[in-house]
Chains A and B, each alone.
Chain A
Amino acid sequence: MAVLDVQNLHVFYGQIHALHGVSLSVDKDEIVTLIGANGAGKTTTLGAISGVLPVAEGEVSLDGQPLGKIMPHDLVKMGIVQVPEGRRIFGRLTVEENLGMGAFVRKDKDGIVESRERVLEMFPVLKERMGQVAGTLSGGEQQMLAMARGLMSRPRVLLLDEPSMGLAPMLVEQVFGAVQQVRDQGVPVLLVEQNAFMALQIADRGYVMETGEISLQGSNRELLENEDVKRAYLG
Chain B
Amino acid sequence: MAFDVIASSYREREKEHTPLGHAVIAGISFGATGIFAALVGILYLFHERWIVAWVPEGAADPSGLTLGQSLLLVFAMWAGVQVARKTGEERLGAACLLGAGAGLVAGAVLCVLPIIMSLVKLRFMFIALTQHLYDMLTSGLGLGLGVVVLLVAGALAGAFGALLYRLSPRARRPIIYALVWMASIGVFQELIQLLAQQEVLDPIREWFFTWDGLRPQGAIAIGLVAAAVIAVWDTTRARLEETFVALPQGQQRLLHGSGVALLLILVLILFPLVAGNFIGQVMLFIGLFILMGMGLNLEIGLAGLLDLGFVAFYAVGAYTCALLTADSPYAIGQRVDWFPMFNWWWAMGMAVLMAVFVGVLFGIPVLKIRGDYLAVATLGLGEIVRVLVLSDFAAPVLAGAQGVLNIPPPYLFTGAAVDDPIELYYIALGAAAVAAYFAYRLENSRLGRAWTAIRDDEDVAQALGINLVNVKLLAYGLGAAFAGLAGAIFATMLTSIYPHSFQLIISVNVLALIIVGGMGSLPGVVVGALALIGLPELLREFGEYRFFFYGVAIVAVMRLRPAGLWPSAARRREMQLEEETRAAVEAQLAAETESGAASSPEGPAR
Contacts and interface: CB of A to CB of B under 8 A. Distances in A.
Interface of A: 50, 52, 71-74, 76-77, 81-84, 88, 90-93, 100-102, 104-105, 133, 135-136, 149-150, 153
Interface in B454-475: 456-457, 459-460, 462-468
Given A73-B467, A76-B464, 15 more contacts: A52-B459, A76-B465, A81-B463, A84-B460, A90-B452, A91-B574, A91-B577, A92-B456, A92-B577, A104-B453, A104-B466, A105-B464, A135-B574, A153-B464, A153-B465
Given A84-B459, A93-B570, A73 B452 contact: no
B464 to A, nearest CB: 5
A28 to B, nearest CB: 22
Contact of A104 (B457, B459, B465, B570): B465
B565 to A, nearest CB: 20
Contacts of A105: 464-465
A46 B307 CA distance: 32
A77 B467 CA distance: 11
Contact of A91 (B456, B467, B468): B456
Contacts of B467: 71, 73
A74 B466 CA distance: 9
B465 A50 contact: no
A83 B464 CA distance: 9
B473 to A, nearest CB: 14
B464 A133 contact: no
A90 B453 contact: yes
A16 B141 CA distance: 83
B449 interface: yes
Contact of A73 (B465, B573, B577, B581): B465
A52 B466 CA distance: 12
Interface residues of B, number: 22
Given A133-B573, A133-B577, A136-B577, A90 B456 contact: yes
Interface string B429-469: 00000000000000000100110110011011011111110
A150 B461 CA distance: 11
A73 B574 CA distance: 28
B580 interface: yes
B459 A73 contact: no
A133 B457 CA distance: 16
B248 to A, nearest CB: 19
7 contacts: A76-B464, A76-B465, A90-B460, A102-B464, A135-B574, A149-B464, A150-B464
B462 to A, nearest CB: 5
Contacts of B570: 92-93
Contacts of A74: 465
A72 B463 contact: yes
Contacts of B449: 100-101, 104
Nearest to B446: A104
Given A88-B459, A133-B577, A73 B453 contact: no
Contacts of A73: 462, 465-468
B463 A82 contact: yes
Nearest to A76: B465
Contacts of A149: 464
B573 A50 contact: no
A52 B459 CA distance: 9
A83 to B, nearest CB: 7
A133 B571 CA distance: 12
A133 B574 CA distance: 9
A53 to B, nearest CB: 12
Contacts of B574: 91-92, 135
Nearest to A105: B465
Interface in B19-55: none
Nearest to A83: B463
Contacts of B577: 91-92, 133, 135-136
Given A76-B465, A101-B453, A88 B573 contact: no
Most chain A CB neighbours (cut-off 10 Å) among B450, B453, B460: B460
Nearest to B456: A90
A162 to B, nearest CB: 14
B383 to A, nearest CB: 31
A50 B574 CA distance: 31
Contacts of B468: 73
A149 B604 CA distance: 46
Nearest to A159: B463
A135 B578 CA distance: 9
A50 B457 contact: no
A147 B466 CA distance: 17
Contacts of B453: 90, 101, 104
Contacts of A84: 459-460, 463
A88 B457 contact: yes
Contacts of A136: 577, 580
B462 A72 contact: yes
A67 to B, nearest CB: 15
B544 to A, nearest CB: 41
A235 to B, nearest CB: 32
Contacts of A91: 456, 574, 577
A50 B460 CA distance: 12
Contacts of B459: 52, 84, 88
5 shortest interchain CB distances as A-B pairs: A76-B465, A105-B465, A92-B574, A73-B467, A73-B465
A84 B450 CA distance: 18
A84 B463 CA distance: 8
Most chain B CB neighbours (cut-off 10 Å) among A73, A74, A100, A135: A73
Nearest to A77: B465
Contacts of A81: 463, 465
A135 B573 CA distance: 10
